[in-house]
Structure formats: C-alpha cells, structure tokens
Structure 1
C-alpha cells in the first residue's frame, strides 16, 4: 500500500513539474518576444481583422483603434506575428485612417524565435493619445490545395489557416474577424462562438477582453475553381541606349499552384466547355506596360508565338498573351516578351547633381506573385557613380560587366534580386548614374574614326600604282 502511495505521489509531483515547466517556457517566449512594459503602454479599444481570400493574393486589413495609457509622448506601437504567419508576409504597410502613410519597420532585435515584430511611430505633432490606423498585409504561400490532386472535371478546394485573434502584445477590448471567400461553398470552418457564415463571408466575433498574445485556431476549407498563376522566376533585363531607346527583355517561368491534375487530359472536352473541363486552369496572360511601349515580341524556345493582342489607353498598354497550351495545376510554361520604350519617358537628368535618373517599375508586368525576381540594368559604357533607390529592401545587389560590339572596357550591369514579390511591389525604382560627354560620344567617335581610317586607306590604295607599264615607256 505504501509503495502504491509513493508511486502515486511521485507521478503527481512529476506531472506538476512538467506542467509548471511548460507554462514557464510559454511565459519566457512571450517575455523574450517583447519587453513586458510595452504590453501595458497601449490598450486596443477595437480591432477589425478582414481576411480576403477571394483575390489571387490573399490579403489582411487590420483596422485598429488604440489608446496610449502612459504619460508623455506615445512610444512605438508594436505589431507582432507568430512564426506560422511570419514567413507568409510578402508585403506590409500601415496608414492612418485618413490615408496618411505611417512608417512601419521590422524590429530585428525583438524578432526572435521565428516571431516577427514591427514598430510603428505615430506623428509627433499628434497631441491626442487615441489613434485610429490600418495595417495591411499581402500573403504568399498561405493557401494549400485540399485535395492535392484532382481530375479534369472536379471542383477545387483550398485550406487557409490563421489566428482568429489579432496577435498583439496589448489588451484588446473588442475584436471582430471577417473572412471573404471566392464562392459561397465553404466545406468547413472554425466555429468559435460567436461565428456566422453569411454567403461568401464568415464573421467571427465580436470577442471581448482579449489578453495580449492570445491565440485561437482559424481554419477554413473552401471552394476555389479559379487558377492560381505563380511566376516561379522572372528575369527582367533593361538595356539603356542614350542614342536609341530603352529595350526591355522579360523572361518568365509561370506555373499554376492549384491542385495537381491527374488522369487523362481531354483537349476535346476542354474545347467544348472550359468552365467544366478547364476548372482552375488558365491560358490567357495580361501584361500591363508603359503607355508608350512599342515593338513587341513574344516567343519561347520553339519560336515566335503569334497568339497575342494589345490595346492602348491613355495611361498604359495592355498586352493579352495566349500560351501554347492551357496551364493546369502544377503545369508550367516559359517565354520571352520584349519591347521598347522611348528613352525620354524613362530617363531624366538632374540639374543640381548632373546625374542621370532612370525610372522603371521594379516588379512584373503580370499581376501575379513572384518567387524569384532578378532585374538587370545594362548601362552605357563608361558609366560611374551608379546608385539604386528602391521603396523597399532587396535581397542582393551586385555588379557585372556586359560586352557588346565596339565595347572596349565593357558595359556595367547593375543586378538586383528579391524573393517573394506580390503586385504591391510593382513600384518605381530609380537608378542614378553619371556619364561624361566623352564617354557618351565614345562609340560615335570610334565609328567615325574607323570609317575615316578605312576611307583614307582606300584613297591611298587607289592612288598607288603597282603596274610596270610607265616605267617601260620611259626606258624606250
């Protein structure tokens, strides 16, 4: 009997130790995530979290009404994300409710253990301690096909997982979460009371008095028969010619991230009824280019592809391409698309610094997420003081040398690389560089010199008489 009691006591003590250790570890993770004092500096009066799963790129719009509870000027407001969400954030921005931009910066010192921490500093001229602002996210790799394989005529479904609550270090008095779907067919969803499904919208909450760093699983399984085009890689090459134009070469590798197509593919069924036999596939690709773009070429490894149309508007040129075959789940294709832009619409010169400024969109001409992006800017030979300014950070920046006809030292090439881009990254970048008068006219002068030497040689050669006829007459 005593032995049984001792064993029971030992088990109870061990269980208490295990549970106490796990709770301590959980507290330590939270304390390491942010300093405790920041958790009481703000109180969120109301939070509305809107998740849009109907678009190609899932987005979150988090509207926050918060109050600063300390004395003095407001300190930094911290926006935190769990590790499950951190790797899925491709783009983030913040703004006041009136539309004015707020600077949001990733805090690498406090972004540990897989968590992401961003800090927001409110305008100092604001005398109030109440703030109403919005945080917007563009997500990538956040939806998973389920089932992962389908036949040609089956419906397609996706699974999205998240935290119902806004994962914040501050107390939230009330919060509501809304999820929008591309269709009314939702197979299953989390049912944390109160939760209500209205058509293609799931409303969770409102929830009251939510402690900091609270978590409740959100999982939805919904129908989405739309294609999910993904640019696996894009290499954009810009060639600058001060005596010509701006030549652009875009090389795309595009895939479809929908469920993998298994079984036989019937071209006949696809041609008869694309809505039924082409679910989740695409064959048309739209490119949005500069309004002055011209000289288009569309080709792949086989050769020229003539199935394309274009329309011009006041602010852009839209090219509608048709791929050689429909792109179903996990299928892919690759192609080149080239065009020209008059240099005056992309290049200017500063009167103050004397530097040239090349302005061009950073991302893709196609509104789709990109896994690997590389842009190469081939500048004229002799270019110096090269500097790139981007509205966001890039993963790497390097220089190469490109040799073309009549080049002596080679043309400098600025290479910028970035992973995981979304259409929100399609913002203008600026490339500044210096090019002297001599370097600009180097090739024309070289060409004139070569032609002058050639003509002089021709004249000299034509005046040289190598025959012996005159010398014989003189001898006679």
Structure 2
C-alpha cells in the first residue's frame, strides 16, 4: 500500500510539473505564429557540427509579426559559434536569399533554461502570410569521445546529444530531422519512431502536430577519426608598412581535442601500418594563405621545420604543415607561421581620403576551432583615428608598440574573439588617417645620424688632442 501511494504521488507530481511547464510554454510562445514545415539536417562528418534548418513560418493571428524566435537548450548555447539566417525570395530557378539579422534575446521564465535568438524580418509578416527561412549554425566541442582514452591502434568513437524533435516556441505542424555521420560505423542510436537509417544517414520523422517546446532527447554513438584540431590560442600580427609590404606572423598553440592517447607510442608501428595504427591522429594540416604570398617560414621553439609544402597560383596559396611529431588525443604543439604579402592587394584609400586595410578574419588552418583568437593590426607610425569594421561582434581595444627607429610608437588595433570556426573567415576592415610626411621620418632620422657621425669623424681628425706643443 505504501509503495502504491508513493507511485500515485509521483504520478501526480509529474502531471503537475508537466502542466506547469505547458502553461509557462504557452505564456512564452506566440500563439500568432506556427511552423508549417521544418526540415533540419545535422552534419557530423567533422568535429565541427553544422546544422542546416529550413522553416516555413505562417502568421495565423491578426497582428503582424516582426521577428521569429529560435530556441536552444542550455547545453547547446555555450557551444554555438555562428548563426546565420536568410529569407527565401522567389521560386525555383529565380530563388534568392535575403540575409536577416540574428541577435540574442531574453525571455523571462524560459522553460528549463531555454535560450533564444531573434531573427528580425525585413518586413512584418501580416495575417495569413508565410515566409521561408534558411538558418545555419555551427556547434563546437559538441562531440564527446567515448571511451575517453584509446590506444594507438584503436578508432575514435564519439557521442552526439540532441533532440529528434526541433525545440521551438511555436506549434510545429510537420517536421523531419536528418543526421549525417562520417561513415557507416554507428555503434548505437536512440530510436524515436518513426526512425530510419540508410548508409551514413539517420532519419527522424516525420512528426506531426507537435506543441511548443516539445523535446525528445537522442544520442548517436559513432566513429569519427577526422582531425579534432583545436587551436587553444592564436595570435595573428598584421604589420603594415607603407614602403610596400604586409608582414604576417601567426603564433599557434594547437591541441588534439579527441580521445586521449593511452599507453606508449610506437613510431615503427605508426610508419609500418599507417592505415591501422594511429587512425585517430593527424600529422599534417592545410593552411589556406592569400595569393602572391612570399617569404614563408614555419618554425617552433627548436628551429625551422622543413616538413611543409607550399603550392601557389594566381588565385590562392596552400601550405601543408606537418608538426615534428603526429598528434594523438591530448597532445599539443606550438609553432609560428610567417609570410609577406604585397601591400597593394590589401591596402586601399576610401573616398574620404582615409586608408583602410581589407584582410581576412579567422584562422587559415582548414577545419579548425580556435578557442581564443587575437588579431593585432600594427599601423604605421603617425597613424591617427583608427577604427575597425568587423561583420560580427568582437572585443576591440588599442595598444602602442615600438619597433626599430620608432619615435612615438605605432598604434595597434587589437581584435579578440572566442569560439572561432572556418565560417568566420570573412573580410574585415581597419580604417585610419595617415599623413605622408611621416614616411620621411625614419629616412631623415637615419640621414641625420649618419651626418652627425660623419661630422664627428671629421672633427676628430682635425682636432689636435695631444698635450705636446
């Protein structure tokens, strides 16, 4: 009897909790909007999770809607690196995409810590109207190795946690989710009927008429031996010289963020069985450098590293870098890459007479996550009123640095950002004012020094310093 009473109390408590959650959900979600159709594709082929979401949203109310909310569980919010949204315009071959602003927003009493992003529509959505949105976002550090430690000859298995049902503050009439894995080697996955698997793809749905904030957790356990390359810290120094060059210096702290290596490392086994031994490790990475690059070097604390290959043409430059040793899970490497670029390819003059640098933000290494990125743009001495234009939020501040023959020091524009992915590799600009007279400062100073030295030599040769008469 006592056990039955406890069971009834537990059921009553669960029902009350569910009802309170539904009440809070209905108070938070907008009854005016509903999602007619939702399709989500989750790409797990890399260690960076990429999600493509297509939403057809309809306004079923009487008042116009100017924004659409995206909901994320609290376990995903800290791992979101980038979110982009666009509205489709036209049909089929004439279809085009109109970019929309996406900004974080707060709603009081979000159920279970749900976080929100707001998509601002270009024009309000009227009664009975619908709009199709294309949303793209990336997640970092979202694949958890299991087991957390593997030997040299073992493959790497990882977990991915998500929901088979799209988390949304709106009623969803129909939805479907596809999950793509790197290979057909899937250890296990959660089934939420209807669920289907074909080759490297899992299909969840279609699911019909789901209320707001529906959630159905799923776990996919699969093999992923792609490089889990994470740069813990990257400092890029871009030094501008108006004498015709742009010098780039990049300081890397690289780590393999996959399952930690256990046991001993056998170099003989690694080289004799490359397809079997060390399949989860990586020994080279590809750096995409700008075209017309020159004076390239690659070194670490010991010295120059010769195990690299550079391929250049008129459109791009690719550098294949290879650390001194292969990187297994938990292993780290630090190195420096430097190169020069023609100034005329990146420095321009705006209509108002200001100079501006147009360079690429992000990390040159392909398929790499940067936990902390710092870009330092060193302006020529005498530059004034610097300002940076970056297409996404970053932290900015100014510093002063001193180099050879500097008198008052050089202004340095410092840009900092965390959780950087390859999709952040977009152009940014740094504007500044510069007077051409400052280009003569260093030559005049050198000429003055040589002139004074010459006059001192002449005076020394013509002055008699002897004490004899």
Moved more, 131-140 or 399-408: 399-408
Q: Distance in 1 between matches of 2:124 and 2:150?
A: 57
Q: 2:71 corresponds to which residue?
A: 80
Alignment CA distance shift 1:71-1:129 (3 Å): same
Contact 1:49 1:62 in 2 (8 A): yes
Q: 1:102 corresponds to which residue?
A: 100
Structure 2, unaligned runs of 5 or more: 89-95
Q: 1:361 corresponds to which residue?
A: 360
Q: Distance in 2 between matches of 1:56 and 1:13?
A: 45
Q: Distance in 2 between matches of 1:322 and 1:16?
A: 60
* Secondary structure of the corresponding residue to residue 450 of structure 1: helix
Q: 2:403 corresponds to which residue?
A: 404
Q: 2:290 corresponds to which residue?
A: 290
Q: 1:260 corresponds to which residue?
A: 260
Moved more, 370-379 or 93-102: 93-102
Q: Distance in 1 between matches of 2:320 and 2:298?
A: 11
Per-residue CA distance 1:262-293 (angstroms, 9 max, x = gap): 11221111111211002111111111111011
Contact 1:74 1:129 in 2 (8 A): no
Q: CA deviation at 1:12?
A: 9.2
Q: How does 1:411-422 map to 2 (within 5 A)?
A: 411-422=410-421
Q: Distance in 1 between matches of 2:383 and 2:109?
A: 40
Q: 1:210 corresponds to which residue?
A: 210
Contact 1:86 1:114 in 2 (8 A): no
Q: 1:433 corresponds to which residue?
A: 432
Q: 1:42 corresponds to which residue?
A: 33
Q: 1:22 corresponds to which residue?
A: 17
Per-residue CA distance 1:96-155 (angstroms, 9 max, x = gap): 233321222221466967432111222229888111121111110110011111111122
Q: Distance in 2 between matches of 1:13 and 1:467?
A: 115
Q: 2:92 corresponds to which residue?
A: none
Q: Distance in 1 between matches of 2:423 and 2:244?
A: 31
- 2:330 aligned with 1:330, yes or no? yes
* Secondary structure of the corresponding residue to residue 17 of structure 2: helix
Q: CA deviation at 1:232?
A: 1.5
Contact 1:111 1:117 in 2 (8 A): no
Contact 1:261 1:328 in 2 (8 A): yes
Structure 1, unaligned runs of 5 or more: none
Q: How does 1:212-291 map to 2 (within 5 A)?
A: 212-291=212-291
Contact 2:154 2:278 in 1 (8 A): no
Q: Distance in 2 between matches of 1:375 and 1:270?
A: 37
* Secondary structure of the corresponding residue to residue 39 of structure 1: coil
Q: Distance in 1 between matches of 2:4 and 2:329?
A: 58
Alignment CA distance shift 1:459-1:222 (3 Å): same
Q: Distance in 1 between matches of 2:201 and 2:323?
A: 34
Q: CA deviation at 1:72?
A: 5.0
Q: 1:443 corresponds to which residue?
A: 442
TM-score under structure 2 length normalisation: 0.91
Residues paired across the two proteins, number: 459
Alignment CA distance shift 1:345-1:124 (3 Å): same
Which one of the candidate residues 29, 34, 42 is aligned to 1:51?
42
Per-residue CA distance 1:283-337 (angstroms, 9 max, x = gap): 1111111101110111000111111111113321101111101111111111001
Root-mean-square deviation (CA), in Å?
A: 2.5
Per-residue CA distance 1:141-190 (angstroms, 9 max, x = gap): 11001111111112221100001111111111111110001011111111
Q: CA deviation at 1:91?
A: 0.7
